[in-house]
Amino acid sequence: MPPLIQVTHPNGIYLPEADLWLDPHFPGKRAFISHAHSDHVARHEMTFCSEVTRDLMKTRYGYKSEGEMRVLPMREAVEWEGWELRLLPAGHIIGSAMLHLTRKADGATLLYTGDYKLRQGLSSERCELLHADTLIMECTFGLPQFTFPPTAQVVHQVLKFVQETLEDGGIPVLLGYSLGKAQEILCALAEAGHPVMVHKSIWDMTRAVAPLLGRLPEYRLFDAAQAAGHVLLFPPSNGRSIAIKKLKVCRTAMMTGWALQPGAKFRYQVDEIFPLSDHADYPELVETVQEVKPRCTWLVHGYTHEFAADLRQRGFEAWTLERADQLELTLASAAPVLRTAVETGSNDWGRGSFAQWAEACAQTAEVASRLKKVERLADMLRSLSDVEELALAARFSAGSTGDAPLNTGWSLLKRALIELSGVNEAEYRTISRSQADTGRTAFLVLQRAVLSPTACSLSDVAAFFAQLSRAGGQVERVKLIKNRLQQLTAATGAWLVRLMTGELRMGSKEGLIEEAVAAAFDAGADAVREAAMLCGDIGQAARLASKHSLHEAKPRPMVPIKVMLASPEETAQDIWERLNTAEVWLEDKYDGIRAQMHRTAERVEIYTRDLKPVGAQFPEIMQAASALSAEVILDGEIIAHAEDKKLSFFDLQKRLGRRDQADLFLPSDVTVKYVVFDVLWKDGVSLLEKPLTERRAKLEAISLPAGMGVIEVMKAASADDIEAAFHAARRRGNEGLIAKDALSHYSPGRRGKSWLKLKKAFATLDVVVVRAEQGHGKRSHVLSDYTFAVRDEEADNSLRIIGKAYSGLTDAEIEELTEHFTQTTLSQRGRVRTVTPEIVLEIAFDSIQASNRHDSGLAMRFPRIKAIRRDKGPAEIDTLAYARKLAGVSV
């Protein structure tokens, strides 16, 4: 009996004897690509694949002459360097193939399934198996609960959904991946007689393989104006697109094997969900092993640990390839937990429990109406009789975990979830990518953990957050997180993870919570907002509202309040007309750090505009402030100079949390000054309601020590005066102007029309996108964050990264680019795709400085996308030399 062919998994499936990778997600020397889905495709020096897969890679990913493409015929043996290669239909999608490998020296065999299914698909060849000594197989659905109904039954249910939706005057939207699932659905619709409209990506893929599919329904490109009476077929990532939302009468249905999981409809946020899958279900996985009869089975993707234990109980040698097996955990003991129904976050533990809060959040997320969201949150807040629990509920609902940072990034949470559940890195990555949602990912992972739910109050969670903030190291923090999650249900634990990551995603930004507090205690929403601003804490505002004491909210030292903001205007004339006063006050807009200073007899502190204390990083200003005779809350800007040269925000920013560069900014090298432009509180009296003229008088009456100064105020009597002052400010090295109404009150956190700013974009650069990243929140289903580059003429026009932007485009443009970048992905790592550099953007920014953040040696401040330059190609983008000129940087 020959020895088995060696299989390793250093960072993917690798056969060292053949020097061959199997479906790696990164470029390699030699690789087999089983099918043309993006997570299996990368550009290799030599690629083995089927003919259809090759053609699809050319159509979908723009493959041209990158590397050698070796097309293998189906079922025929091909000899290669001492091996015999044979492709077999995998049944996954059209063109998908298994690889059967024979070592010619001794006849040892191996079968790699890739993604596959045994059921006869409507758009792909039936899978064919062949005996092998070693079997490498995927087991995405490797649990007994995943037993799919017959395909004909599922298709019948889909067609019934379509028919009923059309009869009700609605538009059915079926969601399936552009390649594979979409063609399966089209084939299913062939007999129904309904006209179909498809998304552009599905149109392109279907046109590429249409001659191989047989009969298809009448289908055309999506046109919103003509959508009525049609069945719409879209990729899942576009199921919540603006185009669909505008139609208003759409009903959406998702096609996925995960439909068999409890609560799947809620997680995918669709009207219906059907278990139509292009992967093998549990009975097919078992049948595969029984038919191939391998001496050893290696499992990848999905429930590898559980299915390996199952196979060993059946007498097969089976192991997970991606991690070590835990033989002490049998499938029998794990199955009941894995099959647990979705927990609803029940409030059985009583009022004030964290589970009650989580349930209220889940209910809030389910409804689209803002009024209903407010009503459900208000009901929860009203039910809390303990004012401390009320304050915590309000804070948590606003996404706040307290004043102290938790020091737990997503990597620590991921580690805790993996250790608690037993999933491996690859399984976790698969779940995470399929959901694109922190909470849903946590829920699915926690469903696979052995949990012991106990009573947990909001105060218990607050205490847990306090422990995390004090924890000494990563090991201790991971242990704390695991222990807390183990004492919650999967649904409640998922909401804890959402809260810790700041991704509640229930439409409950702070403004909505303020409305809920107002509704709960019959208060005015504006009064609650004002109290929350002054207190710097929505929890304290909720306390006051419950006692009908909102009027007691006043500024207090060491409780930072949100700064008043200025609204942007394009021209001096716009400012003059907007303020509509005989005289406009003007101040230079510095390129520094907005800072609020609190000074009492006992303490001095400095807070940034996001309310974080930073005084320890500016000891010279703290020392100067301690010499003040008055107790005050001041609003101003921290600016810096070095060697008689004014520094920029880029330089000053290095003082904020960058210890490795702190030695560059010792007081002896850099002069840091606090420029004051407003006083908000003085000697126990709030000045917020006083006019600016009175606040200015009180400010000028304060004797400021060295290291602090009052900003100069200029007076303008016309638009021409404002324009002249703007250019003068620019000549002084400042960003622009702030124009103020002399009678304006100070409105914390508000961007009103009594303060206006005139900045004018510094310049624009034409750049090319080199990476596209999955967005967050409402943009989690699209690629909305773009990394871009300029041309380096001195290095053969190679591309040098200069920045990243995610604002400036419309939702429709983002969806268009998402489709383009999905089809032109060169490689993918997590949420980030490296893409073919061909989309040119015009980028506006406030300034540009030397920086080691990017390989260009430059970085932009506040970059935003001004336009997609459809008239330009990559060869026409701006050069690194031009960018350096704008930055005033010499090589």
Give the catalytic positions in this structure: 589
Are 308 and 322 in contact, with CB atoms under 8 Å apart?
no
d(CA 377, CA 531): 19
d(CA 34, CA 24): 10
Are 575 and 719 in contact, with CB atoms under 8 Å apart?
yes
d(CA 516, CA 364): 11
Instruction: Kindly tell me the sign of the dihedral angle through the C-alpha atoms of 695, 697, 701, 703.
Output: positive
Instruction: Tell me which residue has tokens 């409402």.
Output: 778
In one-letter notation, the amino acid at residue 768 is V
Please provide the DSSP assignment of 804-839 as one string: EE--S--HHHHHHHHHHHHHTEEEEETTEEEE-S--
The SS3 assignment for 672 reads strand
d(CA 96, CA 116): 8
d(CA 368, CA 513): 15
For residue 115, which of 23, 52, 27 has the smallest C-alpha distance? 23
Who contacts 486 (Cβ-Cβ below 8 Å, separation ≥6)?
Answer: 420, 449, 450, 451, 452
The SS3 assignment for 97 reads strand
Please provide the DSSP assignment of 356-393 as one string: HHHHHHHHHHH---HHHHHHHHHHHHHT--SHHHHHHH
For residue 185, which of 132, 140, 121 has the smallest C-alpha distance? 121
Who contacts 525 (Cβ-Cβ below 8 Å, separation ≥6)?
Answer: 514, 515, 518
Strand ranges in 283-336 using DSSP code E only, listed in sequence order? 296-302, 318-320
Read off φ and ψ for residue 511, nearest 5 degrees.
Answer: -60, -35
Q: Strand 20-22 and strand 30-32: pairing?
A: parallel
Number of C-beta neighbours around residue 539 at 10 A: 24
The CA distances from residue 883 to 375, 765, 794, 846, in Å, are 52, 8, 13, 13
- H-state helical runs in 42-148: 51-61
For residue 402, which of 443, 486, 459 has the smallest C-alpha distance? 459
The structure tokens listed for 780 are: 């989690």
Number of C-beta neighbours around residue 475 at 10 A: 11
Instruction: Kindly tell me the sign of the dihedral angle through the C-alpha atoms of 269, 275, 276, 278.
Output: positive
The structure tokens listed for 351 are: 């009022």
Q: Give the CA angle between residues 28, 34, 36 to the nearest 5°.
A: 90
Number of helices (H) and strands (E), helices first, in the chain? Answer: 28, 39
Are 537 and 392 in contact, with CB atoms under 8 Å apart?
no
Please provide the DSSP assignment of 715-726 as one string: EESSHHHHHHHH
For residue 268, which of 143, 434, 429 has the smallest C-alpha distance? 434
Are 198 and 233 in contact, with CB atoms under 8 Å apart?
yes
Who contacts 190 (Cβ-Cβ below 8 Å, separation ≥6)?
Answer: 214, 215, 216, 217
d(CA 361, CA 348): 16
Are 158 and 274 in contact, with CB atoms under 8 Å apart?
yes
For residue 709, which of 665, 675, 671 has the smallest C-alpha distance? 675
Who contacts 338 (Cβ-Cβ below 8 Å, separation ≥6)?
Answer: 143, 145, 306, 447, 448
